[in-house]
Structure 1
């Protein structure tokens, strides 16, 4: 159902965008980057959050981390991650395939400005082995997303200390 709802969404709203299905899983940022031959930051991960009584989807660049302070300043509430079962109920998408496309009911969608660092991003498409290649601005336009700045740059890898 989930993959088909995303395919139907693109058939109706952007028939020029094809849903890509791979043999390999793309359920994590690292797996998705490998499966689609892009940098991990180009993976557009979708997080299902609650801010007080409001459930929302936040789409962000793959290596970025949610900044709780920025989120709280913007939304006026602490972010709470939803459990897998609740995410699937709200989106119909399995964990690893969650995306802002083909939702059964309207949910507020926000895109973090980190996505604008890339000309093309690769969000999931309703299954753990499906995705689309899309310009961030086009994605935001298609799902009526609001742009926000609620994430941090990834922390640089720390060197291991030798003894």
Structure 2
């Protein structure tokens, strides 16, 4: 873990809120001039604290009206199966996130699709591509809270 001072944490928090914000405005908000602020941003990128800048989109407006959390139980935990599973999910852009889990599930996937028929197609594609012991699907009825910002501590202590 990279140790961040208060200024770095404030810069990261500002960029997570709005990555399009001009460096001059970020600098003003964190108490720096523009050049030192830009150098800190570059260092945060070089050290891997900042990994990218993206635009966030409304999934429904893009035709992705159904979000599904899919739990996967592997039939075994061999290297071969993990590689086959990884190759399969890499070909399916509807699978937005994948987590290897501890506990009852081996993997948890966040899937965005247009509708139930689209999810059924993805389900069949996944189960045809790799043997799976069990799949459990949880359909999102309402997204009540969503954030891409981590709760970085920006208080001066």
Class of the TM-score when normalised by the shorter of the 2 chains: under 0.3
Q: Which structure has more helix as a fraction of its residues?
A: 2
Q: Which structure has more strand as a fraction of its residues?
A: 1
Scaled by the length of structure 2, the TM-score of the pair is 0.26
Scaled by the length of structure 1, the TM-score of the pair is 0.25
| Larger Cα-atom Rg | 2
